[in-house]
């Protein structure tokens, strides 16, 4: 994927409803940095004020829209943090696991081939990441991530260089994913763009897709949907992105979703 070169435009009030024009909507929402603020304490990344309420309000209108949470986290973790678990679609681990509103889940095919490489990388991290220096190893079912937001910059830079090399030595079957102050090793072929493709295939009536996210890992769905949906970057306007529009923070996104819910009520 070539790097984006343009800055997203501010999302105008009312545009989500205007663009819907009576069509069924599939609203895909990243979690960390999109519905919650980024926090070093991974288990305390709760939704910003009003996020749960507006999601519940939209979920209660299946005639008009479906809601999907598309996250790098495991589904059971993000469901617990969000506090809304019924009536939604979930794509966890960058699309490696999918769950429908009926609660049934399925895994991406051919994950078994990545298990030995993931085990080797987990062992490598245990041996090479110093304790008490601000690093956080996030162990997931089908991936492993190193967060270095609180680590000293020179130490983080050196360790990330070594980690990139280690993941490269295990590729395939693993690939490197880089986000905001985090490096993650995933089974090859997994990304949020593929997750959105799978969700669009599950939701009936050829919905208009809306995708909102904040991180580099959200660029794949931004590019995928650039010509066929609405894409919204949550955060800094200074970052070039494939997204068409932007909002300043999760609170502004919640405000725009609340506007949409109110419009759907009329």
Angle at 215 (CA atoms; ends 210, 218), nearest 5 degrees: 40
Alpha-carbon gap, residue 96 to 185, rounded angstroms: 13
Q: Which tokens belong to 176?
A: 């490197």
Alpha-carbon gap, residue 93 to 257, rounded angstroms: 24
Q: Is 64 within 8 Å of 84 (Cβ atoms)?
A: no
Identify the residue whose tokens are 């506090």.
Answer: 83
Burial class (CB in 10 A: 0-12, 13-18, 19+), 22: exposed
Could you list the beta-strand ranges (E) of 135-219: 136-139, 144-147, 174-179, 182-187, 208-213
Alpha-carbon gap, residue 88 to 198, rounded angstroms: 15
Cβ atoms within 10 A of the Cβ of 49, count? 10
The secondary structure of the chain in percent helix, strand, coil, rounded to multiples of 5, reads 40, 25, 40
Residues identified as active-site: 30
Q: Which of 29, 53, 32, 50 is nearest to 41 (CA)?
A: 32
């Amino acid at each position: 994927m070539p790097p984006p070169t343009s800055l997203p435009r501010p999302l105008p009030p009312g545009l989500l409803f205007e663009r819907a024009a009576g069509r069924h909507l599939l609203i895909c929402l990243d979690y960390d940095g999109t519905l919650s603020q980024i926090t070093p304490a991974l288990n305390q990344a709760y939704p910003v004020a009003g996020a749960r309420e507006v999601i519940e309000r939209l979920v209660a209108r299946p005639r008009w829209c479906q809601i999907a949470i598309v996250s790098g986290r495991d589904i059971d973790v993000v469901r617990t943090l969000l506090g809304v678990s019924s009536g939604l679609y979930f794509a966890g681990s960058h699309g490696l696991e999918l769950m429908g509103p009926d609660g049934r889940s399925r895994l991406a095919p051919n994950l078994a081939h990545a298990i030995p490489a993931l085990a080797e990388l987990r062992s490598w991290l245990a041996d090479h990441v110093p304790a008490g220096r601000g690093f956080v190893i996030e162990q997931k079912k089908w991936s492993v991530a190193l967060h270095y937001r609180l680590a000293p910059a020179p130490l983080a830079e050196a360790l990330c260089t070594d980690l990139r090399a280690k993941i490269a030595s295990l590729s395939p079957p693993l690939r490197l994913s880089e986000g905001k102050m985090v490096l993650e090793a995933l089974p090859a072929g997994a990304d949020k763009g593929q997750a959105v493709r799978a969700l669009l295939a599950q939701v009936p009536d050829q919905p208009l897709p809306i995708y909102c996210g904040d991180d580099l890992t959200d660029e794949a769905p931004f590019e995928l949907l650039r010509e066929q949906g609405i894409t919204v970057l949550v955060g800094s306007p200074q970052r070039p992105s494939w997204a068409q529009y932007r909002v300043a923070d999760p609170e502004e996104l919640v405000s725009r979703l609340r506007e949409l819910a109110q419009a759907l009520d009329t």
